[in-house]
Amino acid sequence: MKALRQTWRWFGPNDPVSLQDIRQTGAEGIVSALHHVPHGEVWTYEEIIERKKLIESYQLTWDVVESVTIHEEIKTRTGDYMGWIEKYKESLRNLAKAGLRVITYNFMPVNDWTRTQLDYLMPDGSKALYFNWVDLAVFDIYILQRNNAAASYPEHIVTEAATRHAGYAQEQLDHLAGVVMFGIPGEQKVTVENMREKLSRYDHINADVLRGNLVFFLQQITPLCDELGLQLAIHPDDPPMDILGLPRIVKNMDDLQFIVDSVPNKSNGICFCTGSLGANPNNNLPEMARKLGTRIHFTHLRNTKRDAAGNFFEDDHLAGDTDMYAVVKELLAIQQEVPQQISFRPDHGHQMIDDLNKVTNPGYSCIGRLRGLAEIRGLQLGILRNMGNQ
Ligand code: DNO
């Protein structure tokens, strides 16, 4: 019985969690990216090899690239999008030449993952990431001041947002803006003005247009990926709903099915992120994993807990709304069908114990993820033993 590979996201040399620390977590491999390269620019072979050697000098392997970010002009199919696609291909060639195989990316317009609070207090004193619709509406209507923003929310949210906004001091509003636009550690920070400008480029882009742009992009790069033996893994939208008036097209089974069916090339696959997909109550994750099968090229294991209003916090890896046992069981069944090891990483974790007094990357402190990895490792071992009847 083959196990899933246990990996760990490392943001590079500036990550407060070092490669030496990661070895002690029991992770076998690393998920990393050249975050300092501006979005869209070529990742040179030299830089890739340097990062790879650094990882290997700690007896770890660089198993997954997350992410090679897609330039906004590719998503909107405007400006020099063909030039950006050529640069993307160049990066893919360099990654393949360096021996990398799995490439994660996402097609979220403007903002990567979005939360409204990074230190949501759990009953045990640890801190979690949180998404709240009223706070998002405060950001959208009063800070971003997006045209017609209020029309995107049910009336009661708009009313609550007005009250909450009136009670927030300027400092709290600035803090909220920083949280919503937090982005990826080590990458360029976005300001409210940048965001307004970026949003305006989507004025005429609805979900169908964006879907067409994704398919076009995949048609351009998958033949090359097939040839190079690369496996692409599109990350779902997080949260899996339309936000800030932007279309989101990677949020449920229909979306994922459309992506794999529209571009049948074998390199075209999914990053099955249980945390992102799990925030939508209509997503049945074990069933989705079974349906996607060997199209799953990489997985993020994380759990969320929703309330009746659709707000959610990130729960412990084995708690929350997603049946992690059932998901891991499906993934292990898929693993038995493919020759390459499918990597998973414990995605996010609570800020807890000593990490509460440290500066950590939100969601990516050491001890919370260490807990998640250890729990999933045990879960996997138990399932594997059971599958092998020993
Ligand atoms: C957040 C992450 C995402 C993810 C990218 C993949 O913690 O899961 O930022 O890395 O969206 O492209």
β-pairing, 102-106 with 117-121?
unpaired
β-pairing, 303-306 with 312-315?
antiparallel
Q: What is the pLDDT of residue 275?
A: 97
Instruction: Spot the catalytic one: 348, 350, 355, 366.
Output: 348
Under 8 Å between Cβ of 81 and 73: yes
pLDDT in single tens digits along all 390 residues of the chain = 999 999 999 999 999 999 999 999 999 999 999 999 999 999 999 999 999 999 999 999 999 999 999 999 999 999 999 999 999 999 999 999 999 999 999 999 999 999 999 999 999 999 999 999 999 999 999 999 999 999 999 999 999 999 999 999 999 999 999 999 998 998 888 999 999 999 999 999 999 999 999 999 999 999 999 999 999 999 999 999 999 999 999 999 999 999 999 999 999 999 999 999 999 999 999 999 999 999 999 999 999 999 999 999 999 999 999 999 999 999 999 999 999 999 999 999 999 999 999 999 999 999 999 999 999 999 999 999 999 865
Q: What whole-number distance in Å separates Cα of residue 42 and Cα of residue 62? A: 19
For residue 102, how far is its CA from the centre of ligand 1 (angstroms)?
15
Of all atoms in ligand 1, which is nearest to the CA of residue 300? Answer: 8
Q: What is the pLDDT of residue 388?
A: 84
Q: What is the pLDDT of residue 390?
A: 54
Pocket of ligand 1 from Cβ distances under 6 Å: 66-67, 104-106, 112-113, 184, 235, 300, 347, 363
Residue from 69, 112, 115 to probe ligand 1 pocket by mutation (most atoms less than 8 Å from CB): 112
Instruction: Assess if residue 136 is contained within a domain.
Output: yes
Q: What whole-number distance in Å separates Cα of residue 334 and Cα of residue 353? A: 36
Instruction: Assess if residue 140 is contained within a domain.
Output: yes
Instruction: Assess if residue 345 is contained within a domain.
Output: no
Judge whether 271 counts as a catalytic residue.
no
Instruction: Spot the catalytic one: 81, 135, 142, 235.
Output: 235
Instruction: Assess if residue 25 is contained within a domain.
Output: yes
Under 8 Å between Cβ of 267 and 222: yes
Q: Of 145, 172, 195, at which residue does a domain stop?
A: 195
Q: What whole-number distance in Å separates Cα of residue 109 and Cα of residue 88? A: 17
Q: What is the pLDDT of residue 181?
A: 95
Q: Which domain holds residue 14?
A: 1-31+60-64
Number of domains in the chain: 2
Q: Of 195, 217, 245, at which residue does a domain stop?
A: 195
Of all atoms in ligand 1, which is nearest to the CA of residue 112? Answer: 11
β-pairing, 303-306 with 296-301?
unpaired
Q: Note the pTM of the prediction, 2 decimals.
A: 0.97
Judge whether 204 counts as a catalytic residue.
no
Other C-beta atoms lying within 10 Å of the C-beta of residue 376: 22
Residue 7 bridge partners (DSSP): 29
Of all atoms in ligand 1, which is nearest to the CA of residue 184? Answer: 9
Instruction: Spot the catalytic one: 347, 350, 355, 366.
Output: 347
Instruction: Assess if residue 128 is contained within a domain.
Output: yes
Q: What is the pLDDT of residue 188?
A: 87
- Return the residue whose CA atom lies nearest to atom 3 of ligand 1: 113
Q: What is the pLDDT of residue 73?
A: 97
Q: Of 146, 172, 195, at which residue does a domain stop?
A: 195
For residue 369, how far is its CA from the centre of ligand 1 (angstroms)?
15
SS3 labels along 55-120: HHCCCCEEEEEECCCCCHHHHHCCCCHHHHHHHHHHHHHHHHHCCCCEEEEECCCCCCCCCCEEEE
Judge whether 235 counts as a catalytic residue.
yes
- Which alpha helices (DSSP H) does the chain contain, by range? 19-25, 45-56, 72-76, 81-97, 133-138, 155-167, 170-180, 192-200, 207-228, 253-262, 274-278, 285-292, 324-335, 366-387
The conformation of residue 152, written as its DSSP 8-state character, comes to: G
Instruction: Assess if residue 108 is contained within a domain.
Output: no
Instruction: Assess if residue 377 is contained within a domain.
Output: no
Of all atoms in ligand 1, which is nearest to the CA of residue 108? Answer: 11
Judge whether 364 counts as a catalytic residue.
yes
Instruction: Assess if residue 89 is contained within a domain.
Output: no
Instruction: Spot the catalytic one: 71, 165, 300, 317.
Output: 300
- Return the residue whose CA atom lies nearest to atom 1 of ligand 1: 113
